A and B are shown apart, each in its own frame.
Chain A
Amino acid sequence: MSDIVLSLQKLHKRFGALQATQDVSLDLQQGEIHALIGPNGAGKSTLIGQIAGNIRPDEGRVFLADTEITSMSIAQRARLGLGRSFQVSSLAEPLSVMRNVMMGVQALQSHSFRFWKPVARDRHLLEPAYAALERMQLSHRAWTPVFELSHGERRQVEVACALALKPRALLLDEPMAGLGPEGSAKLTELLEALKLEVPILLIEHDMEAVFRLADRISVLVSGSVIAHGDSQAIRQDPRVREAYLGDSDA
C-alpha cells in the first residue's frame, strides 16, 4: 500500500444538526489525479478543511503517506508535504511572486527564527522558488507584485507556492474557478504534466476539466461519497446524474 499518498479513513463531521461529512473514506495514489466533485452544499469545503487542517473531524483519521496528520496544525501538515491551493486565491498581494513562493522553501529548510542573513540574496531560497515558478511557466513574472497579475496567473502562483514545499500530495480547491477557457486549458495542461510527480486531489466544478484530467472521480452528496470510479463510470452512474448532473442533463 505504499502507493497511497493521502488517505481519509471514515471521516465524520457534524455541525449541530447538519451532518457535513458522513463516513468519508478516500485515498490518493502516486501518479494520479483524483477528482472530488459534488453539488453546492455537498460538504466539499468541510472535507477539504479536514484534510488541510483548519477543521478537526469528529471521528476518523487522515494519513499523509504513513504519518497520521489528523490532529496536526496547518503548518505541520504543509511541512510534511501537503501542498494546497485555495478556492479564492490567498496570496500576499503587495509582495512579489517570488516572495510568496519563497515562504514554502523557507519553511522546508529550517525554522524561521533566523534574524540576520537577508533573504534577498539567499540563493538557497531563491533557486528552489525560481524552479517552482519555472515549473508553472511563470518565471518571467518572478519579481512582479501579485496585485499586477491576472486571475489565471495568480492560480499558477498558488500552485507554485504549493510546489515550493516539495509536496507529496497536492490539494487543489477549484483551481479553474473564474478562469476563461484559455486559462483553464493552460492550467489543465500544466496539471496533467504535474501529476506524474505529485498526485493531485482536485476539487473542481469545471466538468470538462474534471473528465479530461481525472483518473478517478469521487462524487460527494450531502456529506457522503455516493459514487466512485473513472470518468466513464461516473458519467453513466444514474445516482450521480440524479444528484449532481440533474436528470434532464443526460
Chain B
Amino acid sequence: MTNNTSLTNGASQAATADTALVPKTGSHFDRKGLVQMALLGLLLLVPVAAYFLGHIYYVNLASRITIIAMAAVGLNLAIGYGGMVSFGHAAYFGLGGYVAGISAYHAFDLTPFMTWPFSLPGSDSLLVVWLVAALLCALLALAIGAISLRTTGVYFIMITLAFAQMIYYFANSWPTYGGEDGLPIYIRNTLPLVDSSNALTYFLICFVGLVLAMAITSRLMKSRFGAALTMARLNDVRLATAGISPYPIRLVAFVISAAITGLAGALYADLNGFVSPNMLSWHFSGELMVIVILGGVGRLYGPLAGAVLFVMMETFLGGVTQYWQLFLGLVLLGVVLFAKHGVMGWLAGRERNE
C-alpha cells in the first residue's frame, strides 16, 4: 500500500495485491449489457413506432408496462436488495394513486382539500402531485416499516399485508372520494412546457421515471448505504458486529422503496384517469411480487423484464382466455424451478458479487 493511487481502479488493484483476483469490471457490451440495452431500447422504440403508426393503444400499453415496472423496481429494492419481503406494497402504489386522484378532484372542483388549520387547495400540477405522493408514501412507510421491521420472515410478510389491507378497507369505505367505486380524474394532471395528455409524451414521462428509479437503485446499491444494506440482507449479525445497526439501514431502504412505488402509483392513476381501491388491494401486492420473482430477485433489470412478461401475458393471453393466469402460474413455476435468477438470470447469466 505504498502507492497512493493504487486502489483507484480495478486494474491497479492487481498490481498492489500480487496475485489478488481483480473483481470483474463488467463491460457494457457483454451479454448482460446487451440484453439490458435491448430490453430498454425495445421499450422505448416500440411505443414511439406505434405512435407514429397511429396505434395509441400500444403506446398506453407501453406506459402501463413502464409504470408497473417502476413500481416493481421499488419493491425489488425492499425484497431483492434488502431481503424484506413486503406483501403490502400496494398500499404505497394506491396511496400515490389517490394523491393524484384527490388532488385532481379538488383542482377540478375548485374546492379546498382542507380548510383547517390552514387552507389547502387541490393541484393539477404533476410536479406537486409527485412530490406529495413521494413524501406521503415515505411517511407511511416510515410508520409501517418502523413497526414491521421489528419482525422477520413470515411475520414480516403478514404484518405488511395487514397494514396494507387496513388502508384498502379505509379507502373502500370512505365515501368522499368514491369509496369502492373509485375516483375518476377527468383531466390528466399537467406539467409545464409539455402536453401530458398526449399519449407519447406521457409514455416518455413514465419512461424517464423508470430509468431514474433504476439509476437511483443502481447508484444506491454501490454506495456505503448499499454495502450496509447488502450485508443486512446476507448476514445481519455480521453487520452489527462490524458496528452498524441493521434496523435503521433497513428502515431507510424500506422508505425509499415505498416512495418509488408510490410515484409509480401516481403515474398509474393519471395514465388511467381513474383510481380505485383495487390499486390498494393485496392482489396487486401479489402481482408486484410475482413480477419481481419472474424478472429476477435483486436484479436491476429484473422488474422491467418481469413487468414486460406479466403485462404482455395479461394483455394477449387475457384476450384469448379469461384463464390466462393458469399460464402465468405455469411460467412462474418454470422460473422458480428452472431459472432461479428469473428471466434476467436466464437471459443475461448469473450476477457475480464482487
A residues in contact (CB < 8 Å) with B: 52, 73-76, 78-79, 84, 86, 90-96, 99-100, 102-104, 106-108, 112-123, 125-127, 130-131, 134, 139-145, 161-162, 164-165
Contacts and interface: CB of A to CB of B under 8 A. Distances in A.
A120 B23 contact: yes
Interface string B221-240: 01111111011001101111
B7 A112 contact: no
Interface string B307-348: 000000000000000000000000000000000000000000
Given A96-B354, A139-B20, A107 B9 contact: no
Nearest to B14: A143
B249 interface: yes
Contacts of A121: 7-9
B241 interface: yes
Contacts of B234: 92-95
9 contacts: A74-B241, A106-B242, A107-B243, A114-B224, A115-B223, A115-B226, A120-B222, A143-B22, A164-B242
Interface of B: 1, 4, 7-9, 13, 16-23, 219-220, 222-228, 230-231, 234-235, 237-245, 249, 252, 353-354
Nearest to B351: A94
Given A92-B231, A92-B235, A95-B230, A78 B223 contact: no
B291 to A, nearest CB: 24
Contacts of A161: 238, 241-242
A103 B7 contact: no
B20 A92 contact: no
A156 B118 CA distance: 62
A164 B244 CA distance: 13
Given A78-B242, A131-B1, A143 B17 contact: yes
Nearest to A171: B241
Contacts of A118: 219, 222-223
A116 B225 CA distance: 8
Contact of B17 (A86, A99, A116, A142): A142
Given A106-B244, A112-B244, A99 B354 contact: yes
Contact of A84 (B17, B19, B21, B241): B241
A125 B252 CA distance: 22
A119 B244 contact: no
A115 B220 contact: yes
B224 A143 contact: no
B224 A145 contact: no
Contacts of B17: 130, 139-140, 142-143
- Residue with the highest number of chain A CB atoms closer than 10 Å, among B16, B220, B240: B240
A115 B252 CA distance: 11
A106 B224 contact: yes
A115 B219 contact: yes
Contacts, number: 147
- Residue with the highest number of chain B CB atoms closer than 10 Å, among A79, A92, A134, A139: A92
A100 B238 contact: yes
Contact of B21 (A92, A120, A144): A144
Contact of A75 (B19, B22, B227, B240): B240
Given A92-B238, A127-B1, A130-B1, A99 B22 contact: no
Contacts of B220: 115
B175 to A, nearest CB: 41
Given A94-B353, A115-B219, A102 B227 contact: yes
Contacts of B4: 123
Contacts of B245: 73-76
Nearest to B245: A75
A90 B235 contact: yes
B8 A96 contact: no
Contacts of A164: 242
Contacts of B7: 121, 123, 126-127, 130
Given A90-B235, A96-B353, A140-B18, A114 B222 contact: no
Contacts of A76: 243, 245
B243 A108 contact: yes
- Residue with the highest number of chain B CB atoms closer than 10 Å, among A86, A106, A141: A106
B354 A114 contact: no
A119 B235 contact: no
A52 B224 CA distance: 25
- Residue with the highest number of chain A CB atoms closer than 10 Å, among B19, B21, B231, B241: B241
B80 to A, nearest CB: 14
Contact of A145 (B13, B237, B252, B353): B353
Contacts of A92: 230-231, 234-235, 238
B228 A106 contact: yes
Contacts of B19: 140
A104 B222 CA distance: 17
